[in-house]
Structure 1
Amino acid sequence: MPTSRSARPLRSTRLPREQRREQLLGVALEIFSRHGYHKASMDDIAESAGVSKPVLYQHFPGKRELYLALVDDNLDQLAARLLTALQSSTVNRTRVESMLNVYFDFVADSPQAYRLIFHTDQLADTEIRERFENFHMGVAEAIGSVLGPNAGISQAHAVMLARSLTAMAEAGAYYWAHNPSVGDREQAQRQVFRLAWGGISIIDEDWQ
């Protein structure tokens, strides 16, 4: 999956700059998702990565800059996967199924990245909050640009409905992953899809 990273190297291992940056982001993802922003430290990240603090600071000037880079990296990857799913077919039912599948994959295969993105403790920070809002709106606008013309509704209404759909997909995937009593993924995902598709089909039959 896009959010999985290479294993931590030994202290003696030298990596090219970009590979080192990727490795540091992977370790930071683990530390931030486990401890939250405030309790995580650059010391913890450097030690877990098997590098000195000067090496860490060569890539990221501080903890906030590292956190922002990590947020951007994971939001960009998830947005790309969702947009690819949206563009994977001209059949709207397939589009919805594919995007829903991305959310379930993300929760199942990248739980640390999921916690970082959807359960961050940094939404009080204006710059970080704007990054998340831009991600959500970017995806909603992309969906709305397809939903609106098909359903004969305004772009504003289409974006509102698209944002509601993605929030439902995210919540459904998270609930399934954290509640074993729900059952297997296929059944859970099918039920969330039926709710989403049933609502969409009511808006306008042309969307089908």
Structure 2
Amino acid sequence: MHERTTRRDRRNSRWDEHRRARREQLVDATVAAVGRCGAGVGMEEIAAEAGTSKTVVYRHFADRSELHVAVCTRVAAQLTDRLRAALATTDHPRGMVAAAVETYLAFLEADPELYRFVVAAPDRPVDADPIRTLSDLVGDQAAALVAVALEQAGRDPAAAAPWGHGLVGLVRAAADWWLRADRPIPRADLAAHLTELAWAGLAGLLPDARPVPVPDPEEQQ
């Protein structure tokens, strides 16, 4: 009996691994299809890119929204890694703001259609998406940094969440305009303008400009 259960468990484990791998392949295909067809890519184009049918895609993802969430999760992880690496290059608060803004803009400029695909979530209940939007995830990271800055300045960190998300909203709104306007100014200039504006608000939090340690996302969970 125990042997039969073990064999069944192994088969289930192999099947689970196959499904995970297939889902990753379909996310790869979606990213490639977005690159080829743009942010408005349809499920037919995604299935064709994957070399399969929509029926097969829907065996692994309940609907387009679920597939969108999987792509968002991948892109968010990539951006978060890059932001963390950029923030680690300096411990000066203004330098961290500049690094984060530049990294965000460089990320979306490298693949604007994928960025548009990610931030333009399909219609669905808000609580159906575990990460909501890419901006929300980045906003959480920014809020964690602002909370550290407030605590070090001896101030109540309660404002960290609205300020952190507000900073991301500032950058995203400007970045969205920049893409719609076909990048009328160089990325470096836009990054400098946004850094100056963001720092004008944050500088009051750190009158002595002490270094700010980057919070470890794993410790926050």
TM-score scaled to structure 1, two decimals?
0.72
1:105 corresponds in structure 2 to 106
Query: Using the alignment, how far apart are the partners of 1:134 and 1:167 within structure 2?
Result: 9
Q: Indicate if the aligned counterparts of 1:173 and 1:189 stay in contact, CA closer than 8 A.
A: no
2:76 corresponds in structure 1 to 75
Residues 27 and 185 of structure 1, relative CA distance in 2, 3 Å threshold = closer
Q: Indicate the larger mover: 17-26 or 81-90.
A: 17-26
* Residue 142 (1) aligns with residue 147 (2): no
Residues 27 and 61 of structure 1, relative CA distance in 2, 3 Å threshold = farther
Q: Indicate if the aligned counterparts of 2:69 and 2:131 stay in contact, CA closer than 8 A.
A: no
Superposition map of 1:27-42 within 5 A? 27=32, 29-30=34-35, 33-35=39-41, 40-41=42-43
Superposition map of 1:4-15 within 5 A? none
- What letter matches 1:24 in structure 2? A
CA offsets, 1:31-61, max 9 Å, x none?
Answer: 68224xxxx33x3321233334565456545
Secondary structure, in 3 states, of the residue corresponding to 1:34?
coil
CA offsets, 1:132-158, max 9 Å, x none?
Answer: 375145313322233223333222212
The structure with the largest alpha-carbon Rg is: 2
Q: Indicate the larger mover: 168-177 or 102-111.
A: 168-177
* Residue 96 (1) aligns with residue 102 (2): no
* Residue 178 (1) aligns with residue 180 (2): yes
Picking from 146, 151, 168, the partner of 1:166 is 168
Residues 32 and 194 of structure 1, relative CA distance in 2, 3 Å threshold = same
Picking from 131, 151, 154, the partner of 2:153 is 151
1:72, CA displacement in angstroms? 1.5
- What letter matches 1:150 in structure 2? Q
Query: Using the alignment, how far apart are the partners of 2:121 and 2:58 within structure 1?
Result: 23
Secondary structure, in 3 states, of the residue corresponding to 1:207?
coil
How many percent of aligned residue pairs carry the same amino acid? 24
Query: Which runs of 5 or more structure 1 residues have no equivalent in the other structure?
Result: 1-15
CA offsets, 1:164-199, max 9 Å, x none?
Answer: 112112222222233258422222221111111122
Secondary structure, in 3 states, of the residue corresponding to 1:153?
coil
**CA RMSD after TM alignment:** 3.0
Q: How many positions carry a matched residue from both structures?
A: 188
Residues 158 and 169 of structure 1, relative CA distance in 2, 3 Å threshold = same
Q: Indicate if the aligned counterparts of 1:150 and 1:207 stay in contact, CA closer than 8 A.
A: no
- What letter matches 2:40 in structure 1? R
2:87 corresponds in structure 1 to 86
Query: Using the alignment, how far apart are the partners of 2:175 and 2:82 within structure 1?
Result: 16
1:188 corresponds in structure 2 to 190
TM-score scaled to structure 2, two decimals?
0.69
1:11 corresponds in structure 2 to none
